[in-house]
Amino acid sequence: MSQVPRVALLAGGVGSSRLAVGFERVLGEAHLTLVVNTGDDHWRYGLRICPDLDTNMYALAGLQDRQRGWGLAGDTFTTMARLRELGDDPWFSLGDRDLATHLLRTALLGAGMGIAEVTQQLAGRLGINARLLPMTEAEVGTMIHTPDGVIPFEDFFVRLGARPRVEDVSYEGIDQSTLNPLTRRALEACDLVVIGPSNPLSSIGPILAVPGMRDAIKASAAPVVAVTPVVSGVPISAEGERRRARSRAAQLSARGLDHRAVDVAGLYRNLADVFVLDEADQAEAAEIRSSGFGVMVANTLIPEPDAAAILAEKVLKAVG
């Protein structure tokens, strides 16, 4: 292993993007590769929207609106307001500056570039050296099965505020998707794979469902550390965090699981070696250990980069 380990982080949206910033601080960007969920990606106003790629890209560029957890800090929404004046219902808010990213991405895709190359172009222009790799080139869609029908993830999460009951979560087009060769190589060459603290079913699930992804992780022989996205023992104040918790709980219940760290750990059985549990939930450590994981207890609530860097350091030491 080189003295600075090469880390591959499986990343969803807000939670993983915060840990990515922590790893970037500790490792330097040359040693950090993100394999990012593209199941939330969708077309809107003729533009290709890639929420998790943008959330991680803006976070690594230091441009993320930290309070919202997505979009650009200080952005305005005059275009969305005008669309409302024109009688549209822009329930998925695209900031005026954020729109430039979607316009450029859509133009580059239209010119024949694949999403991995487009992402590399956009990240390069933001001065990001960490590698951001979409989980696949194919367009796939995370679908939420509700009593009123099967709807795309963002309709469930944003338009309906993660309130519908969830009967199942599926990944449309995933069986036809292929593992990006760059991603396979990054996983096989890395010294550590980290499963980010994102929704295990609608953010990490799609990544692991790409044919060949689990095999590539296993082929790397690198240890795999999963960071819990669930912290039960701390009351949630921010509305965004409450909605993410609602979304996780609803999806876990569709699998007959509770919204607890131990249930998330169960979804990573036969994949993760170590599970990182929040200090507030250490009562669950014994149960997680008994199901075959190493367990590390740490502060996993990392809204600020300093806390994220401390967690990243601890994760690196967990497999030292």
| CB-CB contact of 108 with 119 (8 Å) | no
Do 171 and 209 touch, CB atoms closer than 8 A? yes
Binding mask 169-208 for ligand FO1 (x = CB under 6 A): ----------------------------------x-----
With b for 16 or more beta-carbon neighbours within 10 A and e for fewer, the 297-309 pattern comes to bbebbbeebebbb
DSSP conformation class of 215: H
Q: Is 276 in the site for ligand FO1 (CB under 6 A)?
A: no
| 252 neighbors 246 (Cβ within 8 angstroms) | no
For residues 166 and 157, the answer to whether their CB atoms sit within 8 Å is no
Contact flag: residue 154 with ligand FO1 (CB under 6 A): yes
Contact status: 157 vs ligand FO1 (CB under 6 A): yes
Tell me: does residue 229 bind ligand FO1 (CB under 6 A): no
Size of the site for ligand FO1 (CB under 6 A): 18
Contact between 92 and ligand FO1 by CB under 6 A: the answer reads yes
Question: Shortest approach of ligand FO1 to residue 245 CB, angstroms?
Answer: 13
Smallest distance from ligand FO1 to CB 215, Å:
26
Is 94 near ligand FO1 (CB under 6 A)?
yes
Q: Which range touches ligand FO1 (CB under 6 A), out of 153-161, 220-228, 269-277, 312-320? A: 153-161
Which DSSP category does 282 fall into? G
Task: Please give the DSSP secondary-structure letter assigned to residue 94.
Answer: -
Q: Give yes or no for residue 155 binding ligand FO1 (CB under 6 A).
A: no
Q: Which is nearer to ligand FO1, 190 or 250 (CB)?
A: 250
For residues 15-74, which are near ligand FO1 according to CB under 6 A?
Answer: 40, 51-52, 54-55, 70-71
Q: What is the dihedral of CA 166, 70, 190, 105, to 10 degrees?
A: 100
Q: Do 203 and 12 touch, CB atoms closer than 8 A?
A: yes
By DSSP bridging, strand 42-44 and strand 274-278 are: unpaired
Residues that bind ligand FO1 (CB under 6 A): 12-14, 40, 51-52, 54-55, 70-71, 92-94, 98, 154, 157-158, 203
